[in-house]
Chains A and B, each alone.
Chain A
Amino acid sequence: DIVLTQSPALAVSLGQRATISCRASQSVSTSSYNFMNWYQQKPGQQPKLLIYESSNLASSLPARFSGSGSGTDFTLTINPVQADDIATYYCQQTRELPRTFGGGTKLELK
């Protein structure tokens, strides 16, 4: 199985940039696509899609969220961070079955 590694937590100040990383144990990219997605989960809620295929913003989401990366290294950026962004963020690879998720990065306020 492809293992996705995320830092457990990240502390950031409101209005600053947050950079959340996800590293895959093997490439999740092809020549055409990067099979990496990002989800946001707030306490007591279901996850919500943020970014698909590495860099595509899900519909109706603000441009403060962006994604990048290919191969084994991917990044979710939130700039600027707002109070409503305090949540846990998960990466997910869909290159191979089973589709796997990272352990999640909890975004906290400094």
Chain B
Amino acid sequence: QVKLLQSGAALVKPGASVKMSCKASGYTFTDYWVNWVKQSHGKSLEWIGEIFPNSGATKFNENFKGRATLTVDKSPSTAFMELSRLTSEDSAIYYCTRRDYYGSYIDFWGQGVMVTVSS
């Protein structure tokens, strides 16, 4: 079955960067866009951007452009997101997700990574 296994929680200092991973299994990794979604504590969801593993093509929310970097390693089917110049506003849970093959909706979600930005 489809699984998206994300890396563990991170505690980072303001101004630093964080890089998180998402290992996909149960499907052909290169055929599906990987989307990243942010959820601040107790709040709603915010789409960060997406990457197509086969080509490396990316699309971003303007709110994260220039600070979020999306990459993949086709073997072993792992997507990465690096977020730079962190502030307390970046403290949140970050989800790696899979976009459906034909549609634009998210059909599977990883378990999430909690990032805490604190000195």
Which residue numbers of A lie inside 8 Å of B, CB to CB?
Answer: 35, 37, 39, 46-49, 52-53, 58, 90, 92, 94, 97-104
Identity of the chain A residue whose Cβ is nearest the Cβ of B64 in the assembled complex = A98
Number of B interface residues at 8 Å Cβ cutoff, please give it: 21
Would you call B100 an interface residue if the criterion is a C-beta within 8 Å of the partner chain's C-beta atoms?
Answer: yes
Which residue numbers of B lie inside 8 Å of A, CB to CB?
Answer: 35, 44-47, 59, 61-63, 95, 100, 103-112
Which A residues lie within 8 Å of B35 (CB)?
99
Taking a contact as CB atoms closer than 8 A, the residue among B47, B61, B107, B109 that contacts A58 in the complex is: B107
Which B residues lie within 8 Å of A39 (CB)?
45, 106
Complex CA gap A90/B35 in Å reads 17
Q: A47-B106, A52-B100, A98-B63 are in contact. List 11 more A-B contacts (CB 8 A).
A: A37-B106, A39-B45, A47-B45, A49-B106, A49-B107, A49-B108, A52-B107, A53-B105, A98-B61, A99-B35, A101-B45
Complex CA gap A5/B107 in Å reads 22
The residue in B45, B62, B105, B109 that gathers the most chain A C-beta atoms within 10 A of its C-beta is: B105
Cβ-closest 9 pairs across A and B: A94-B104, A98-B61, A46-B109, A101-B45, A37-B105, A52-B105, A99-B47, A103-B44, A104-B44
Complex CA gap A52/B45 in Å reads 17
Q: How far, in Å, is A74 (CB) from chain B's closest CB?
A: 13
